[in-house]
Amino acid sequence: MTANDSMPSDHLFDVYQSLFNYNPEAGYVLDMEGKFLLVNDSAVNLVGYSREEILSMSFVSILPKNQIDHTLQYFKSALKGNQERFYTSIQTKNKQYKELCVIALPIFNNSRITGVIGIAKDITEIKKTRLELIKSRSQMESIFNSVDICLWSFDLGMKRLLNISPACLKIFGLSQEKFIKNPILWREFIHPEDMGMVTRKQAALYEGTSLEYEYRIIHQDGTVKWISEHTIPMRDHIGRIVRFEGVVIDITQRKMAEEHLHHMAYHDTLTGLPNRRLLSERIESSLAKAKLKQEKVVFMYLDLDHFKFINDSLGHDLGDELLQVIAGRVKGCLRKQDTLSRQGGDEFAIILDDIDLKEAYEIADMCLSVISKPVLLRDQEFLLTASIGISLFPDHGQTAEHLIKRADQAMYQAKGNGRNNFKLYTEEMETGLTRRVLIGQSFHRALTNHEFSLHYQPIVNVEERRIVGFEALIRWQHPSLGFIPPSEFIELSEETGMILHIGAWVLQTACRQIKELELKGYSNLYVSVNVSARQFEEASFVKQLMDLLQENRLNPSQLKIEITESTAMTNVLDIIHKMNELRSIGVEISIDDFGTGYSSLSYLKSFHIHTLKIDQSFIADILLDSNQEAIVKAITAMAASLGIKTVAEGVEQLDQLIFLYSIGCTQMQGYFFSKPLPFAQAEKLLASGRDLFNGFPA
């Protein structure tokens, strides 16, 4: 039985009419020419024309030009009895374009085709969404293929990669084919040191834990790269883990930047050596290890002597170059496991693990030796020395703080003992440090309260058997500490910068008092004043002398300047220039303590010095030590050949006087003639006319 058998034809017509009229999609009927015969409400709403307007139009009139031929083909095919489904577009009354999915069916009347009936579905929004999805997918694919981020997806069931971005290939240096063929091939590139960590981490993925971690790989070309990986386990609708989604990023540049920042935080930028921060960590580590293994640890504090003068006079750029050279030399003296650290300025610290004192002393001695070798920079030769303090774990302290403090105390003791040496900490240094601090705090008051005075030691001419001058020697009578010898406070005054004020006071006082002697009839005398390296290198030093000479109305020949041999060799070219300036105004230069430093004999002629003062250490044993005798003879002969006078210091015996005179040294000073005297007593000595050459034949 068919529908026609059970339903009257008029009722069936009503059903078809309802299906057409109330269809939510646009319904239409066309005649054989393509004109609209019938449209439903949905069609009216779709095109925007009134029903009357539509029924007067052909379907072609609402088609865009580029759709006419295409749509006519399907219309003609339907007129031939075919059912057609196709896509086209129309232009509505308000000039909007609509995308349609059309079904066209032929209309039969007594087996004859009389027109076309159709349904058109508005798919404008659907197509728009689809295009946007296609565009979005294209953009995502473009991003997927271009970013330096490795994106991958691994299916656990199929055990294969679902996708892998080109960046993965770049990071590992592998082709996509190799990755797809062997999805776990990447594990072969994990750095051996990180393999265990990566394996442990990945085991957690199968338990459903997301991972984010960093590790190293070895690229196909052999370079080591750092990568960051974030992997997420994905579950299906019943909670089973079915695949892993991962992101891998090359973080090598970031790691390099972090390592650079870390290095800067723990290393000195000038020398590349560990800084205070890293030294603190290293010494704590060394002490912990030493306590566990019951080993010794030696801590050394090394300070370059008079280095501040180089920075002040020649500039920090040259000073920095010197520090780099010295750092390299000292590092070459140490063992591989030792630590050399720059503490700032010209201070260095050394940690020696598992070592005995004998070996530590050998290392300290090597350090002093390499530092004292000449340094040639910018066509100038520099001679440096250092002082080293040593402390020992566990003997001198159980903590880093104690060891550092006591090595520092020992270093100052080394400076107080003449510099260019090393000292091991002793308990007696605790008292010395307290005294040192008190002395350092007393300089200003000492100048204000006239605690300083000058003593004068006669310099005699043996041939003329008379006093030709005096060496001015500073003395300090401290109100609570009593007499403080120059050897104890001069070095400290140089470190604090007070030497400039003290030195200026010495020069001013010496000039004033030698003038007093001149006014009392002693016009053929000179005063010899020791000048520190810091004072001598002052740019205004020559002008200060000229002002003093003019102020006291002194002849320049009445003032001699004494500088040490080490001062003369600190910066040779600058020293020569300064000496030439002094020579041009008539002030003579003496090299004090000659023979104890590192002067090059080739420079003596260039210095244009007037006098060499032979150090008393050579004179003391001159009659007992043939080597000392030979040295003094050589110095005297060399000076004579260069037209330089010699003054022998520390003459205490008649036999010494006789020997020195016999080799041509005619000027001397020492306790044989007179100890250093206060100014009033020196004046009395001159007035007395006392014979200072007791026992020496006339």
Residue 589 belongs to some domain of the structure: yes
**pLDDT tens per residue, range 442-487:** 999 999 999 999 999 999 999 999 999 999 999 999 998 899 999 8
pLDDT value of position 593: 72
**pLDDT tens per residue, range 225-279:** 998 888 888 988 888 888 888 888 888 888 888 888 888 888 999 999 999 999 9
Cα distance between residue 483 and residue 469, in whole Å:
26
Per-residue pLDDT averaged across 86-104, rounded?
Answer: 92
Cα distance between residue 289 and residue 292, in whole Å:
5
* Residue 439 CA: distances (Å) to CA of 361, 407, 435: 30, 20, 6
Average pLDDT, the chain: 87
Task: Using the structure block, give the residue that is written with the tokens 């520099």.
Answer: 382
CATH at residue 330 = 3.30.70.270
Residues 511 and 625 in one domain: yes
The closest alpha carbon to 24, from 5, 37, 43, 7, belongs to 43
Selected residue with higher pLDDT from 690 and 55: 55
Cα distance between residue 147 and residue 627, in whole Å:
81
Residues 189 and 327 in one domain: no
**pLDDT tens per residue, range 381-420:** 888 999 999 999 999 999 999 999 999 989 988 887 778 9
Cα distance between residue 227 and residue 440, in whole Å:
58
Q: Is the pLDDT of residue 311 over 60?
A: yes
pLDDT value of position 3: 45
Residues 153 and 274 in one domain: no
CATH at residue 242 = 3.30.450.20
Q: Is the pLDDT of residue 432 over 80?
A: no
Residues 168 and 86 in one domain: no
The closest alpha carbon to 547, from 578, 576, 510, 508, belongs to 508
Residues 330 and 246 in one domain: no
DSSP state letter for 204: G
Residues 154 and 13 in one domain: no
From edge to edge, which strands make up the β-sheet containing 211-218? 160-164, 149-155, 241-250, 224-235, 211-218
Residue 79 belongs to some domain of the structure: yes
pLDDT value of position 151: 81
Q: Is the pLDDT of residue 352 over 60?
A: yes
pLDDT value of position 9: 61
Residue 41 belongs to some domain of the structure: yes
Q: Is the pLDDT of residue 147 over 60?
A: no
Q: Sort 391 into a burial class: Cβ within 10 Å, 0-12 / 13-18 / 19+.
A: buried
User: What is the β-pairing status of strands 84-91 and 97-109?
Assistant: antiparallel
Three-state DSSP at 550 gives: helix
Task: Using the structure block, give the residue that is written with the tokens 């401290």.
Answer: 478
E-strand ranges in 354-444 read: 375-377, 380-382, 386-393, 422-424
Helix, strand, coil share (%) of the chain residues, nearest 5? 45, 25, 25
pLDDT value of position 386: 94
Residue 694 belongs to some domain of the structure: no
Q: Respond yes or no on whether the N-terminal peptide bond of residue 556 is cis (omega within 30° of 0).
A: no
Range of the domain at 317: 269-426
Confidence of residue 2 (pLDDT cuts 50, 70, 90): very low
Selected residue with higher pLDDT from 572 and 110: 110
Q: Sort 315 into a burial class: Cβ within 10 Å, 0-12 / 13-18 / 19+.
A: exposed
Residues 198 and 239 in one domain: yes
Task: Using the structure block, give the residue that is written with the tokens 């009503």.
Answer: 14
pLDDT value of position 6: 54
Range with top average pLDDT, 221-225, 272-276, 574-578: 272-276
Q: Sort 442 into a burial class: Cβ within 10 Å, 0-12 / 13-18 / 19+.
A: buried
* In contact, 533 and 564? CB cutoff 8 Å: yes
pLDDT value of position 138: 60
* In contact, 565 and 593? CB cutoff 8 Å: yes
Give the pair of three-digit tokens for residue 216.
């190293």
Residue 697 belongs to some domain of the structure: no
Helices (H), 204-349: 252-266, 276-293, 307-314, 316-331
Residue 138 belongs to some domain of the structure: no
Give the pair of three-digit tokens for residue 396.
């001198």
CATH at residue 495 = 3.20.20.450
pLDDT value of position 193: 92
Q: Report the run of H or E that residue 12 belongs to, with start and end.
A: helix 9-21
Residue 263 belongs to some domain of the structure: no
Q: Is the pLDDT of residue 595 over 70?
A: no
Per-residue pLDDT averaged across 333-340, rounded?
Answer: 94
User: Furthest-apart CA pair in the chain: how many Å?
Assistant: 172
Three-state DSSP at 126 gives: helix
Cα distance between residue 122 and residue 130, in whole Å:
14
Q: Is the pLDDT of residue 519 over 90?
A: yes
Per-residue pLDDT averaged across 360-367, rounded?
Answer: 96
Q: 495-514: string of b/e by CB count within 10 Å (b at 16+)?
A: beebbbbbbbbbbebbbebb
Residue 232 belongs to some domain of the structure: yes
The closest alpha carbon to 352, from 388, 391, 406, 298, belongs to 298
**pLDDT tens per residue, range 626-684:** 888 998 999 899 889 888 999 999 999 999 999 999 999 999 999 999 999 999 999 99
Confidence of residue 140 (pLDDT cuts 50, 70, 90): low
Confidence of residue 365 (pLDDT cuts 50, 70, 90): very high
Q: How many separate domains does the chain show?
A: 4
Residues 207 and 280 in one domain: no
Confidence of residue 531 (pLDDT cuts 50, 70, 90): very high
Q: Is the pLDDT of residue 219 over 50?
A: yes
Selected residue with higher pLDDT from 111 and 336: 336
Per-residue pLDDT averaged across 495-500, rounded?
Answer: 87
Q: Is the pLDDT of residue 58 over 80?
A: yes
* Residue 88 CA: distances (Å) to CA of 59, 65, 66: 12, 11, 10
**What percentage of residues in the chain have a pLDDT greater than 90?**
54
pLDDT value of position 141: 56
* Domain end marker among 371, 391, 426: 426
Cα distance between residue 448 and residue 444, in whole Å:
6
Phi, psi of 342 (to 5 degrees): -95, 125
Residues 484 and 618 in one domain: yes
pTM of the model: 0.52
Q: 240-279: string of b/e by CB count within 10 Å (b at 16+)?
A: eeebbbbbbbbbbeebeeeeeeeeeebbbeebebbbeebb
Residues 403 and 273 in one domain: yes
DSSP state letter for 672: T
Among 204-208, 211-215, 409-413, 573-577, the minimum mean pLDDT is found in 573-577
Q: Is the pLDDT of residue 300 over 90?
A: yes
* Residue 540 CA: distances (Å) to CA of 427, 545, 546, 566: 43, 9, 10, 21
Residues 370 and 392 in one domain: yes
Q: Report the run of H or E that residue 590 belongs to, with start and end.
A: strand 588-594
Residues 564 and 670 in one domain: yes
* In contact, 602 and 568? CB cutoff 8 Å: no
* In contact, 559 and 471? CB cutoff 8 Å: no
* Domain end marker among 256, 278, 313: 256
